Structure 1
Amino acid sequence: MKISTTHIEGVAIVDLEVREDSRGGFARTFCREEFEQAGLIPAVEQCNLSFNHKAGTLRGMHFQVDPAPEAKLVRCTRGAIQDIIVDMRPGSPTRLQHVAVELTADNRRALYVPPYFAHGYLTLTDGAEVVYQVSQSYTPGTERGLRYDDPDLALPWAVPVTTISEKDESWKLLSEGAVTE
């Protein structure tokens, strides 16, 4: 694995180092020791799978607060997505800044999402499938959200949103008093 940092402290992109031979390829997708050495939370309490029928499907922008903030390792295993995260850490010098990454089955890239980051993705292909490891079990009552189209965030979505849940569409804008902690 190759773990690269981004302009926001704690956010990392994980690229695979594939070893190939006549059979195909092999790569390590997660290593507790390498994550710890890179300052990332290596705990995996839950793994989730999301499959999406149509391109233009948006899931997010979700984050979890105390007592169960979640770190995530997100990877697209079929198709392609655009993953965007927003720093929601209180007192962070990069609070409300974002990182956007294209994750595809072909590039096999993963995005490490630290705790207190809003996370969402938009499918770029029909049939996109996403797997993510999570550091906490789902804890009702700790989820918060941001609007994907909040003008104060100006998130650079690659394609128009055509499918979104009622819950994700109903998060408040920052200017309307969105809960950010």
Structure 2
Amino acid sequence: MSRIDESRDFVPVRIAVLTVSDTRTPGDDRSGDTLVARLEAAGHVLAARAICRDERGEIAERLWAWCADPEIDVVISTGGTGLTGRDVTVEAHRDVYEKEIDAFGTVFTMVSMAKIGTSAVQSRATGGVAQGTYLFALPGSPGACKDAWDEILALQLDYRHRPCNFVEIFPRLDEHRRRK
């Protein structure tokens, strides 16, 4: 079973938060605020924060820019993962991914089922890797952001988490670029 190994030192991760919305502003971005509060409380660093309209190209452009930034290790977006016509965050993420973390969406659905029952089927939360950066797309509700952070990301972004975690494989995410 998973556990925190107290014999290992905590390693802070630099995380960017992207809110995808046509209507949110910095003053009423509750989901972004939820993520920022949780990541900072865990000891991580807020590396960047932005709000982007529900436009696939704009979202992908922001993700690419942040993946190219050596000061950002992880990007978490919130919003645009549903089923409506304007929900294009998942498609934008997949435009950027080099590898998708298929189980992230599955585990998020399992966590959501325990909280909201079969309504969890409406989420398309996803995760992936690009340019040595982890990317996660979460639903736009503060509750979904809380659940994803508390039940999945807080553990996987903690170097002390056993038996394995995302942080310990950072150095290997872009090893294919170093091959001769």
The answer to which structure has the higher helix fraction is 2
Please report the TM-score for the alignment, with normalisation by the length of structure 1.
0.27
